Chain A
Amino acid sequence: MSKTPIRLTVNGLPHEVAVEPRRTLADALRDDCGLTGTHLGCEHGVCGACTVLLDGEAVRACLHFAVQADSRAIRTVEGLAAPDGTLNPLQRAFWENHGLQCGFCTPGFLMLATWMLEQPGPVDEARLRHVLSSNLCRCTGYQNILTAVRAAAQELGKWAETAPA
């Protein structure tokens, strides 16, 4: 099967790779770019473990072909921490609030929350639950993920208090 050369800009760095058209963006990131932080939990678009940002928008990397991302900018979990490994506020909130257990779904949740927190306007409880219901986690029962993202939103000045439901 013939391969197509493409150029992906991942976390600001260029990756020139050649892929079969059928190779998903998730597989290309993992196998061709060597960025294995993006995980595959279902490969049919339900679990969200593979969520990345494509030109600033959250997408399921398993539902996107790598060739479609040619010359586009992608952000993955590997791009969140500082180069020296220092966790960013969202990652730190996950750590402090025990927002992960096995850690397999975590990259997807981090990228989903990153996208949500970068959208214009504040986030409230309803929006938080609505957006985070996009991804599946099997360990945490979601409680500490919600707590972590809420804490990060507060720290980043993105939180809007609403009356409890």
Chain B
Amino acid sequence: MKCPPFDYHAPRSQAEALALLARHGEEGKILAGGQSLVPTMAFRLARPASLIDINRIAELDYCRAEAGRLRIGALARHARFERLVAPGPTGALLARAAEHIAHAPIRTRGTFCGSLAHADPASEWCCIALALGAEMRVLREGGERLVPAADWFQSVFTTTLGHDELLAEASLPLLGPDWRCGFAEFNRRAGDFAVAMAVTALRLDAAGHVAGARIALGGVAGTPILAEAAAAALLGAPPTSDRLRAAAALAAEGFEPTEDAQVPADYRRDLVRAMTRRALEGSLAT
């Protein structure tokens, strides 16, 4: 189980990386944490001709709060989020989810942006990005674009990222104290990819009514998905136990589950119902 051959490039600057991407096109691939890419190559399911290793580009290694958003550079690793990177619900949600991402020695290498670029449907970061409305800052030689999370995920392992593009930064809104974020995931063995997960965010008004609601589901379809009907059903009323339960039921019915030998569709729906309710309840528990 050895990787196929490739050329290796280790640019020292973002500009150099973009030039390499432009040069190698479809044959090139960014190597950040490598925690998903390398096993895929070991099974020879991916065989990029060139790897462009961005690990030595210091300017991509950051994570900072700025103008109401958390800006996460391409080299910010999972482990960084285990401790609060920002006060408030966003940082707490990230910390909560981080410990579910694989295992400690994976988290020391894998990156937030790498997860978004890899777009595994069961990725915690992808689900959170969709739930909170992340924005991707995508660079290519001589160009830049911003892509909202809703437009980012195309299908399994596929995003709008072009072959000559680098996901240089993802940013998340820093939610105010009126938001309550929840996270729940189910897997069979510690650290494994989730069989189902739910990320929820509720904004409560002064009367304790739900004034804003976002629910994202991961691991259950080709991409993370929003449970919009379920979220809408929570608006305008207090988040009572019955209403949370009803929203979870809506979430479970409102999507087409992926199926495989170990996870039939109706079981995925069961899990979505349970995870959605638990994430919602958990977010309100404190």
A residues contacting B by CB (< 8 A) are 1, 4, 20-22, 24, 27, 43-45, 48, 51, 57-60, 62-65, 67-68, 112, 115-116, 130-131, 133-135
Contact = CB atoms under 8 A, between A and B. Distances in A.
A53 to B, nearest CB: 9
A24 B109 CA distance: 15
Contact of A131 (B3, B35, B104): B104
Interface in B188-215: 190-191
Interface stretch (B18-26, B37-45, B238-246): B37-45
Nearest to A40: B1
B35 A21 contact: no
Contacts of B51: 21, 65
Contact of B105 (A21, A43, A51): A51
Contacts of A4: 8
18 contacts: A22-B4, A43-B39, A43-B42, A44-B1, A44-B39, A48-B103, A48-B105, A57-B105, A57-B109, A58-B105, A58-B108, A60-B106, A64-B109, A67-B8, A68-B31, A68-B55, A133-B191, A134-B104
Contacts of B39: 43-45, 63
Nearest to B35: A63
B5 A20 contact: yes
B260 interface: no
Nearest to A119: B104
Contacts of A48: 103, 105
Given A45-B106, A58-B104, A134-B103, A64 B34 contact: yes
B145 interface: no
Interface of B: 1-8, 10, 31, 34-35, 38-39, 41-43, 51, 53, 55, 99, 103-106, 108-109, 190-191
A45 B38 contact: yes
B55 A60 contact: no
A131 B79 CA distance: 12
A67 B34 contact: no
Given A24-B3, A60-B105, 16 more contacts: A21-B7, A45-B106, A48-B103, A57-B105, A58-B105, A59-B109, A62-B42, A63-B34, A63-B106, A65-B31, A65-B34, A65-B51, A68-B10, A68-B34, A130-B190, A134-B103
Given A21-B51, A43-B42, A44-B39, A65 B8 contact: yes
Contact of B43 (A1, A20, A44, A62): A44
A27 B42 CA distance: 13
Given A21-B8, A22-B4, A130-B99, A64 B38 contact: yes
Given A45-B35, A63-B34, A63-B38, A22 B5 contact: yes
A134 B105 contact: yes
Most A-side CB within 10 Å, residue of B1, B34, B41, B104? B104
Nearest to A136: B189
A22 B106 CA distance: 19
Contacts of B108: 57-59
Contacts of A1: 5
A71 B10 CA distance: 13
B129 to A, nearest CB: 23
A72 to B, nearest CB: 10
Contacts of B42: 43-44, 62
A48 B104 CA distance: 11
A22 B6 CA distance: 7
A63 B41 CA distance: 10
B186 to A, nearest CB: 16
Most B-side CB within 10 Å, residue of A4, A21, A51? A21
Contacts of A68: 10, 31, 34, 53, 55
A115 B107 CA distance: 13
A65 B52 CA distance: 12
Contacts of B109: 57, 59-60, 63-64
